Amino acid sequence: MPFANTVLQLGGQAPVAALLVGVITVVLLLVVLDVPAFIGLILATFAVGLVTPAVPLGDVAAETAAFFGDGMAGIGIPILMAAVIGKSMVESGAADRIVRAFTSLFGEGNTEISLFGSSFVLAVPVFFDNVFYLLAPLARSARSRTGGNYALYIVAVGAAGAVTHGFVPPTPGPLLAVEEFDANLGQTILVGLLVGIPTAIMAGLGYGYWINRRMTIPLRDAMGTTVDELEDVAQTPVGQLPGVFESLLPILLAVVLVGADTTVDTFVGEDSAPAAVTSFVGDPNFALTAAAIAAALTYFRISAVDRETFADELTEALKSGGNIAAITAAGGAFGVMLETAGAGEYIANALEGVGLGLLVTAWVIAAAVRVVQGSATVAIVTTAGITAPLAGDLSVNLAYLVMVIGAGATFCSWYNDSGFWIVKEIGGLTQTETLKTWTVATILIGITGLLNALVLSTVLPLA
């Protein structure tokens, strides 16, 4: 008999109990006791499983391992390859060369505009986490070159990518909602841009400038690269750095390959002949591997080290990437265990009849599910399923329903979201710094996105 039924007799309140146990455990371990993140998250996942009637006591450990393994299957290779990309681009000077090119184009002091724009555009065809893998080395190099503004750079990159990922098809979440509601894809893309651009500017640049004046984030060793190595590269004459195209090649490869897969799936079809090719080369596991090879070859050419030293350097990067992958997958397992406990579904059902307008109700449900179990995709799918029967009564274009769900599903990324750990570990931040930058930025995205969608739906209903 499930442990929760035997000991706690929780009945219908089991999801609430699981949520409370999860939150209390993760805060106690990670915040109060400062337990290493991987250990704390695994212990918190065990704790949730112990009070979850859906998981028998004897299966809690095995289910935790399975959830962790599923997470590693999704992010293991991309994060390890991202570690190679970061190490190679930073130490070859490629990242610094790109930052210098941005500076020449936009002027001294406007690096955040370049990072913001790049993240917003790249996240249309590429998953947010992959965009962050590619742009984090640029943010670190920019911090080394300017001597400050790291909070601004992290928020600019993170918020811009998160907005596009949540609002603009053909990124997977919004595309799922479009298909659920049978909304017009072209109109949803247009509305996504109209709602998303001011939302990203407010949360990414507006909040970025504000928090940057109030906190200084030091540059730390991360992704196998030390601060001293970053500073040495920043002093290297431009003539000794790789060219702009060679420096950009890892990013271009990843974006083109993944973007080709997204484009073919959306406009040609998943079962088409071209999709057979693009689904392979456009899979993040392959695309980031190709990008890592390009970055590593540039690093090998520029550094002029022997093969043994080169292999040792990349191994160090992989060690760092392995730790990040483990923490990220553990955070995902924690979120999935909460989902298994039914916490998100319980909250969604409780909010289904709250008596608000459909747009606001959809946002509240999506935001609640997101906060409870961490996954933006699950929040979108859950909310779309609940609201789909009511969508026909909406007096404005269905694209606005997609927008408010995307805004709610982006709201408040914290410990149970793998994206939180990606930003923290790859950015080289502390938990407190991540909460003050990334988490607050996602809260602002959720609220601002809702308000923008409500205002625009009134002015331009497109019904």
- Token duo for residue 203: 């949360």
Q: Give 125 or 183, the one with higher predicted confidence.
A: 183
* Tokens matching residue 380: 């979108």
Q: What is the pLDDT of residues 450-462, one digit of tens each?
A: 999 999 999 999 9
Say whether pLDDT at 353 is over 80: no
Angstrom distance (rounded) from CA 25 to CA 31: 10
Residue 12 confidence (pLDDT): 61
Q: Average pLDDT for residues 57-66, to the nearest whole number?
A: 96
pLDDT(6) > 60? no
User: Once rounded to an integer, what is the mean pLDDT over residues 12-23?
Assistant: 86
Cα(111)–Cα(98) distance, integer angstroms: 10
Query: Poorest-confidence range of 2-11, 29-38, 408-417?
Result: 2-11
Name residues whose C-beta falls within 8 Å of residue 173's C-beta, 6 or more positions apart in sequence: 165, 166, 376, 377, 380, 406, 409
Residue whose structure tokens are 């003050």: 436
- Residue with structure tokens 């043994």? 308
* pLDDT score at 5: 45
DSSP element (H, E) containing 457: helix 440-459
Q: In this model, does residue 316 exceed pLDDT 50?
A: yes
DSSP helix/strand/coil, 433: helix
Mean pLDDT confidence for 297-322? 91
Lowest mean pLDDT among 187-191, 374-378, 397-401: 374-378
Percent with pLDDT over 70 in the chain: 96
Q: Does 319 have pLDDT greater than 70? A: yes
pLDDT digits (tens, 9 = 90+) for 404-418: 999 999 999 999 998
pLDDT, tens digit, for every residue of 129-188? 888 998 999 999 999 888 899 999 999 999 999 999 899 887 778 888 888 898 988 899
